[in-house]
């Protein structure tokens, strides 16, 4: 994932732990990850980012309570598999 190269060592460690949590399914029940589908806009009734194959873009917290906190974006596929997309800052809401 190219977005990993811009992270500090501390951020990289947090990002890898988050990725493992998501890939193993542990993150599904972790409140700290605040897992949710990524909406297409800030509107409360906005739909979710989806692909033609039905995969839904998900967003998980890597960091919290810090300026420009990092998030993990990934695709949750119809068969339950996970495809990591990238690490983004809090304000980046594109898949």
Q: What is the mean pLDDT of residues 31-53?
A: 91
* pLDDT surpassing 80 at residue 1: no
What pLDDT score does 2 carry?
80
What pLDDT score does 3 carry?
86
What pLDDT score does 43 carry?
78
Round the average pLDDT of the chain to a whole number and report it.
Answer: 92
Instruction: Give 63 or 66, the one with higher predicted confidence.
Output: 63
HSE on the CB side for 58, CA within 13 Å?
A: 26
The full DSSP string for 2-63 is GGGGGS-HHHHHHHHHHHHHHHHTGGGG-GGG--EEPBSSSSTT--B-B-TTS-EEEEEES-
Q: What is the mean pLDDT of residues 39-47?
A: 86
* Cβ-proximal residues to 6 (8 Å cutoff; 6+ apart), any chain: none
Beta-bridge partner residues of 74:
58, 84
Q: What is the mean pLDDT of residues 8-36?
A: 94
């Amino acid at each position: 994932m190219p977005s990993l190269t811009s992270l500090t060592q501390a951020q990289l460690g947090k990002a890898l732990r988050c990725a493992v949590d998501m890939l193993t399914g542990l993150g599904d029940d972790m409140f700290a990850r605040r897992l949710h589908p990524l909406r297409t806009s800030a509107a409360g009734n906005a739909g979710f980012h989806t692909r033609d194959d039905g995969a839904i873009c998900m967003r998980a917290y890597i960091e919290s309570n810090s300026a420009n906190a990092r998030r993990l974006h990934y695709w949750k596929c119809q068969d339950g598999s996970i495809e990591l997309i990238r690490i983004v800052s809090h304000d980046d809401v594109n898949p």
